[in-house]
């Protein structure tokens, strides 16, 4: 696959070592390719928060045999989704069981999941060649046709394939969409902000609430909805930590802040959630600190690929966290790269590579865009006018989101469904 240039050459250059970039490195290392991951940060601090992998992603991760790396991180199986109204009354309990989708919904500390992915991407004990991660290597842009990637230090590298996994403010995206109808597309404010809180469970007092309604020990996700706000919370790291994401209307949607980690005063959260049950405020009041995260997403792009480059993860389809599918869709992207590039040889031409990347986009685009749209839908205020009931139906998107067995299987399923619909229409005619 060599392009013939003087710059340092790699089979694959991945830009961004977040969940999407590391997952892509794990997926693509299996065939013994040389993989370079370029990461802007020094990677010594991932965002402190909990994160879930849904069954659609857990199934893929299980297939990567990275259990030794994950096991020690004390992952937890999320056994149920429980929806409460603002009075703390249980509205819906949806049991989550493995048998339905072939894998569990797993809860992780974000740092732990990130760490395990990094270890699996670079370990000598995984199949194929370990990826190399270069930190403090911010990418300025790339040439999608030649595969040359420009790094902020003034150096360049060249990849047969460039994977743009550089998040919602992607530099690679700007290059990929140049000249397309999406040119200039940027992260957009969604009108929502989230306070994020992580507490050590043993620092919390006994809560004044019946365990039938809520227990810190229950391995479940609990959502409380009231007015235009909601709290989503659950345990992590084997129950040692308890995490909350508290969604509120964004008071300052046009703020150009870039961080997920602006700090916010605890008083502000307690005021915003004054109408919520006392036991929830008790948990919040023990937060060692509060991070404020302005929620942004992007509109579906008209393309994710150009020449030798493809966008994945938030760079391609940043979505609201309301369905907890952001990381899971990144894992699906990585698996799709593996599925469509696994048998591509070292001598493949730029045209061959482009066609494979376009096949990845065809397999993934409709599904990821729909989940992006569902996530916006799920963010709409969900409390009834009298605030007593919750209009969300957690079951609604579950089957579509979680019943997934890889990109090629998805394409085949859709082909069969279209064929069936065609036959039915023909029979009726
Ligand atoms: C607090 C929080 C909680 C979340 N909870 C969930 C959840 O429960 N479930 C879920 O599915 N999703 C969740 N998400 C969303 C999810 O984390 C992302 O959708 C997912 O991780 C995909 O991210 P990514 O790797 O594409 O992008 P990012 O995580 O943004 O990673 C991009 C990486 O690229 C690097 N980078 C950026 N620009 C450059 C550049 N120019 N050059 C080199 N490197 C660059 C960044 O430093 C970063 O390391 C959550 C997100 C946050 C912030």
136-151 burial, b at 16+ Cβ within 10 Å, e below that, comes to ebbbeebbbebbbbbb
| pLDDT tens track for 97-135 | 878 899 999 999 999 999 999 999 999 999 999 999 999
Ligand 1 contacts CB of residue 78 (under 6 A): no
Rounded average pLDDT over 36-49: 85
Q: Output the CA 166–ligand 1 centroid distance in Å.
A: 8
pLDDT score of 389: 73
Ligand 1 contacts CB of residue 167 (under 6 A): yes
Ligand 1 contacts CB of residue 40 (under 6 A): yes
How does strand 221-226 pair with strand 148-151? Answer: unpaired
Q: Output the CA 349–ligand 1 centroid distance in Å.
A: 31
| Nearest atom within ligand 1 for CA of residue 291 | 1
Q: Output the CA 114–ligand 1 centroid distance in Å.
A: 10
Q: CA-based angle 283:287:292, to the nearest 5?
A: 115
Best residue for ligand 1 mutational test, from 15, 19, 26, 231 (most atoms within 8 Å of Cβ): 19
| Whether residue 79 has pLDDT greater than 50 | yes
Quick check: helix, strand or coil at residue 217? coil
CA distance 287 to 297: 27
Residue nearest to atom 6 of ligand 1 (CA): 51
pLDDT score of 47: 67
CA distance 331 to 19: 8
| pLDDT tens track for 258-288 | 556 678 899 999 999 999 999 999 999 999 9
Strand partners, 92: 83
| Nearest atom within ligand 1 for CA of residue 21 | 25
pLDDT score of 259: 58
| pLDDT tens track for 360-411 | 999 999 999 999 999 998 887 766 777 777 676 777 788 899 999 999 999 9
pLDDT score of 123: 97
Res. 82 pLDDT band, cuts 50 70 90: very high
164 within 8 A of 25, measured Cβ to Cβ: no
| Whether residue 429 has pLDDT greater than 90 | no
330-344 burial, b at 16+ Cβ within 10 Å, e below that, comes to bbbbbbbbbbbbeeb
295 within 8 A of 192, measured Cβ to Cβ: yes
121 within 8 A of 127, measured Cβ to Cβ: no
pLDDT score of 385: 74
pLDDT score of 393: 74
pLDDT score of 227: 86
Residue nearest to atom 39 of ligand 1 (CA): 166
Rounded average pLDDT over 152-159: 94
Domain boundaries, the chain: 8-76+109-187+298-381+409-414
pLDDT score of 1: 46
| Whether residue 2 has pLDDT greater than 50 | no
| pLDDT tens track for 284-295 | 999 999 998 889
| Nearest atom within ligand 1 for CA of residue 328 | 11
CA distance 234 to 224: 12
Q: CA-based angle 28:30:34, to the nearest 5?
A: 65
CATH number for region 8-76+109-187+298-381+409-414: 3.50.50.60
Q: Which residues contact 173 (CB under 8 A, 6 or more apart)?
A: 164, 166, 185, 301, 311, 315, 316
| Whether residue 144 has pLDDT greater than 60 | yes
| pLDDT tens track for 201-231 | 999 999 999 999 999 999 999 999 998 999 9
């Amino acid at each position: 696959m060599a392009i013939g240039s003087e710059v340092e050459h790699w089979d694959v250059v991945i830009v961004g070592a977040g969940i999407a970039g590391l997952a892509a490195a794990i997926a693509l290392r299996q065939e013994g390719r040389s993989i370079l991951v370029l990461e802007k940060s020094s990677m010594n601090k991932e965002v402190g928060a909990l994160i879930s992998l849904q069954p659609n992603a857990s199934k893929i991760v299980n297939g990567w045999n990275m259990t030794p790396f994950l096991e020690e991180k004390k992952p937890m199986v999320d056994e149920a989704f429980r929806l409460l109204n603002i009075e703390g009354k249980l509205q819906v309990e949806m049991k989550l069981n493995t048998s339905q989708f072939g894998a569990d919904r797993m809860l992780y500390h974000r740092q732990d999941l990130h760490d395990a992915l990094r270890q699996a991407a670079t370990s000598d004990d995984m199949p194929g060649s370990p990826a190399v991660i270069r930190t403090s290597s911010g990418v300025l842009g790339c040439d999608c046709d030649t595969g040359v990637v420009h790094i902020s230090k003034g150096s360049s590298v060249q990849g047969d394939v460039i994977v743009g996994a550089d998040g919602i403010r992607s530099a690679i995206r700007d290059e990929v969409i140049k000249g397309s109808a999406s040119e200039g597309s940027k992260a957009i404010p969604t009108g929502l902000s989230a306070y994020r809180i992580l507490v050590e469970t043993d620092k919390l007092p006994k809560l004044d609430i019946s365990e039938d309604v809520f227990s810190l020990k229950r391995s479940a996700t609990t959502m409380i909805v009231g007015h235009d706000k909601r709290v989503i919370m659950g345990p992590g790291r084997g129950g040692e930590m308890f995490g909350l994401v508290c969604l509120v209307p964004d008071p300052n949607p046009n703020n150009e802040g870039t961080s997920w980690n602006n700090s916010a005063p605890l008083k502000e959260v307690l005021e915003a959630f004054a109408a919520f049950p006392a036991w929830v405020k008790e948990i919040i009041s023990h937060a060692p600190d509060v991070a404020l995260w302005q929620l942004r997403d992007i509109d579906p792009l008209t393309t994710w690929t150009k020449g030798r480059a493809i966008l994945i993860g938030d760079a391609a389809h940043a979505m609201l966290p309301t369905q907890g599918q952001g990381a899971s869709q990144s894992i699906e992207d990585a698996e799709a790269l593996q599925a469509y590039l696994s048998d591509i040889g070292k001598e493949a031409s730029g045209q061959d590579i482009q066609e494979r990347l376009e096949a990845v986009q065809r397999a993934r685009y409709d599904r990821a865009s729909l989940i992006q749209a569902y996530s916006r839908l799920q963010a709409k205020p969900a409390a009834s006018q009298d605030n007593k009931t919750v209009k969300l139906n957690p079951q609604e998107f579950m089957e579509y989101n979680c019943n997934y067995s890889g990109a090629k299987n998805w394409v085949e399923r859709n082909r069969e469904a279209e064929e069936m619909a065609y036959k039915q229409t023909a029979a009726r005619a």
